[in-house]
Amino acid sequence: MTHHIELRALDDDDLDAIFEMMRDREAIAMAAFTAEDPDDRGAFDAWIARQRDDENVLSLVVTEDGGFAGTIASFTVDGDREVTFWIARHAWGRGVATAALRLLISREPIRPLFARAAAHNAASIAVLEKAGFTEVSRNTDFAPGVGREIEEIVFTLVPALDGVGGG
Q: For the chain, what is the domain count?
A: 1
**pTM of the predicted protein model:** 0.91
Residue 162 lies in a domain: no
Residue 78 gets the label, from left (phi > 0), alpha (psi -120 to 50) or beta, of: left
Predicted local confidence at residue 1, as pLDDT: 54
Nearest to 31 by CA among 153, 131, 136: 153
Residues 32-65: pLDDT tens digits?
A: 899 989 999 999 999 999 999 999 999 999 999 9
pLDDT band of residue 141 (cuts 50, 70, 90) is very high
Predicted local confidence at residue 83, as pLDDT: 98
Residue 136 lies in a domain: yes
Residues 90-132: pLDDT tens digits?
A: 999 999 999 999 999 999 999 999 999 999 999 999 999 999 9
Residue 149 lies in a domain: yes
Concatenated DSSP letters of 24-58: -HHHHHHH-S--S-TT-HHHHHHHHHHHHH-TT-E
Residue 34 lies in a domain: yes
Q: Which domain holds residue 12?
A: 5-157
For residues 103 and 71, is the Cβ–Cβ distance under 8 A? Answer: no
Q: Compute the average pLDDT of residues 17-36.
A: 92
Predicted local confidence at residue 32, as pLDDT: 87
Rounded to an integer, what distance in angstroms lies between the CA atom of residue 126 and that of residue 59? Answer: 22
Residue 53 lies in a domain: yes
Residue 166 lies in a domain: no
pLDDT at 87 over 80: yes
Predicted local confidence at residue 159, as pLDDT: 72
* CATH classification at residue 24: 3.40.630.30
Predicted local confidence at residue 160, as pLDDT: 63
Rounded to an integer, what distance in angstroms lies between the CA atom of residue 147 and that of residue 66? Answer: 35
Predicted local confidence at residue 165, as pLDDT: 45
Residue 42 lies in a domain: yes
Residue 132 lies in a domain: yes
16 by DSSP, 3-state: which? helix
